[in-house]
Amino acid sequence: MGQDANAPAYYGPNAQALAQLYAKYLADPQSVGGEWADIFRDLDEEAAGLLSGLLGSSGAARPAANGGAGNASVAAVAAGLVQGRDISADDIRSATLDSIRALMLIRAYRVRGHLEAELDPLGLVKRDKHPELDPASYGFDDDDWDRPIFINHVLGMETATLTQIMKTVRATYCGNIGVEFMHIQDPDQKAWIQQRIEGERNRTDFTEKGKLAILERLTAAEAFEQFLNKKYTGTKRFGLDGGESMIPALEQILKRGGAMGLKEVVIGMPHRGRLNVLANFMGKPFQAIFSEFKGGAANPEDVGGSGDVKYHLGTSSDREFDGNEVHLSLTANPSHLEAVNPVVVGKVRAKQRQRGDAERTDVMALLMHGDAAFAGQGLVPETLDLSELKGYRIGGTMHFIVNNQIGFTTNPVNSRSGPYCSEVAKIIQAPIFHVNGDDPEAVVHVARIATEFRMQFKKDVIIDMFCYRRFGHNEGDEPAFTQPLMYKAIGQHKTVRQIYGQRLVDEKLLDEAGVEKIANDFDQHLETEFEAANSYKPNKADWLEGAWRGMQAAKGFSARRGKTDVSMELLQEVGKAITTVPEDFNANRKILRQLEAKRKAIETGKGIDWATAEALAFGTLLTEGTPVRLSGQDCNRGTFSQRHASLIDQETERRYVMLNHIREEQEEIEVVDSPLSELAVLGFEYGFSLAEPRALVLWEAQFGDFANGAQIIIDQFIASGESKWLRMSGLVMLLPHGYEGQGPEHSSARPERFLQLCAEDNMQVANVTTPANYFHALRRQIHRDFRKPLVIMTPKSLLRHKACVSDIEMFGPDSGFHRVLYEDQRPSKPKEAKQVVLCSGKVYYDLVEARDAQKIKDVHILRLEQLYPFPVDALTEELKEYKHCHLVWCQEEPRNMGYWTAVHEMIEEVAEGLGFKHPRPRYAGRRSAASPATGYAKRHAEEQAALVADALVIGKEREGRIGTRRRFDEQEPKKGKAAE
Contact in structure between 445 and 439 (CB atoms under 8 Å): no
Predicted confidence at residue 717, as pLDDT, reads: 95
Contact in structure between 287 and 350 (CB atoms under 8 Å): no
Give the residue-averaged pLDDT of 817-821.
96
Residue 903 has pLDDT above 80, yes or no: yes
Residue 320 burial by CB count (10 A; 0-12/13-18/19+): exposed, middle or buried?
exposed
Give the residue-averaged pLDDT of 922-935.
96
Give the residue-averaged pLDDT of 480-500.
94
Residue 509 burial by CB count (10 A; 0-12/13-18/19+): exposed, middle or buried?
middle
Q: What is the pLDDT of residues 536-573, one digit of tens each?
A: 887 777 778 889 999 998 887 665 889 999 999 999 99
Pairing of strands 820-821, 859-864: antiparallel
Predicted confidence at residue 65, as pLDDT, reads: 34
Contact in structure between 533 and 290 (CB atoms under 8 Å): yes
Q: If pLDDT is split at 50, 70 and 90, which confidence band does 972 have?
A: very low
3-class SS at 675?
coil
Residue 80 has pLDDT above 50, yes or no: no
- Candidates 482, 736, 773, 548; CA nearest to 634 is 736
DSSP code of residue 819: S
Compare 166 and 78 and report the one with higher pLDDT. 166
Predicted confidence at residue 81, as pLDDT, reads: 32
- Candidates 674, 740, 735; CA nearest to 706 is 735
Least confident of 173-177, 264-268, 314-318, 424-428: 314-318
Residue 274 has pLDDT above 50, yes or no: yes
Q: What is the pLDDT of residues 660-691, one digit of tens each?
A: 999 999 999 999 999 999 999 999 999 999 99
- Candidates 904, 918, 832, 843; CA nearest to 875 is 904
Residue 35 has pLDDT above 70, yes or no: no
Q: What is the pLDDT of residues 856-891, one digit of tens each?
A: 999 999 999 999 999 999 999 999 999 999 999 999
Strand partners, 733: 699, 791
Pairing of strands 432-436, 397-403: unpaired
Residues sharing a CB contact under 8 Å with residue 397, sequence separation 6 or more, in sequence order: 344, 345, 348, 364, 365, 366, 367, 387, 454, 460, 461
Residues sharing a CB contact under 8 Å with residue 388, sequence separation 6 or more, in sequence order: 428
Residue 14 has pLDDT above 60, yes or no: no
Residue 18 has pLDDT above 80, yes or no: no
Least confident of 123-132, 627-636, 847-856, 935-944: 123-132
Residue 54 has pLDDT above 70, yes or no: no
> How many helices (H) does the chain have, and how many strands (E)?
30, 24
What does the H/E/C string look like for 580-649? CCCCCCCCCHHHHHHHHHHHHHHHHCCCECHHHHHHHHHHHHHHCCCCEEEEECCCCCCCCCCCCCCEEC
Burial 309-318 (b: 16+ CB within 10 A, else e): ebbbbbbbee
Least confident of 44-53, 180-189, 257-266, 665-674: 44-53
User: Over the Cα atoms of the chain, what is R_g?
Assistant: 35
Residue 72 has pLDDT above 50, yes or no: no
Residue 420 CA to residue 435 CA, distance in Å, equals: 12
Residue 863 CA to residue 360 CA, distance in Å, equals: 47
Residue 201 CA to residue 175 CA, distance in Å, equals: 10
Give the residue-averaged pLDDT of 457-483.
93
Give the residue-averaged pLDDT of 929-957.
94
Q: Half-sphere exposure (CA, 13 Å, Cβ side) for 211?
A: 18
Q: Percent helix, strand, coil in the chain (nearest 5)? A: 45, 10, 45
How far apart, in Å, are the Cα atoms of 279 and each of 212, 223, 283, 326, 522?
20, 12, 5, 16, 13
Q: If pLDDT is split at 50, 70 and 90, which confidence band does 69 have?
A: very low
- Rounded to the nearest angstrom, the gap between the alpha carbon of residue 41 and the centroid of all alpha carbons in its chain is 53
Nearest 5°: the CA angle 704, 932, 890 is 90
Q: If pLDDT is split at 50, 70 and 90, which confidence band does 26 have?
A: confident
Average pLDDT across the chain, whole number: 88
Q: What is the pLDDT of residues 129-160, one digit of tens each?
A: 999 999 999 889 988 899 888 887 788 888 89
Q: What is the pLDDT of residues 411-455, one digit of tens each?
A: 888 888 989 999 999 999 999 999 999 999 999 999 999 999 999
- Rounded to the nearest angstrom, the gap between the alpha carbon of residue 308 and the centroid of all alpha carbons in its chain is 22
Predicted confidence at residue 45, as pLDDT, reads: 56
Residue 4 has pLDDT above 70, yes or no: no
φ and ψ at residue 307, rounded to 5 degrees: 70, -175
Predicted confidence at residue 543, as pLDDT, reads: 77
Residue 75 has pLDDT above 60, yes or no: no
Predicted confidence at residue 98, as pLDDT, reads: 79
Residue 944 has pLDDT above 60, yes or no: yes
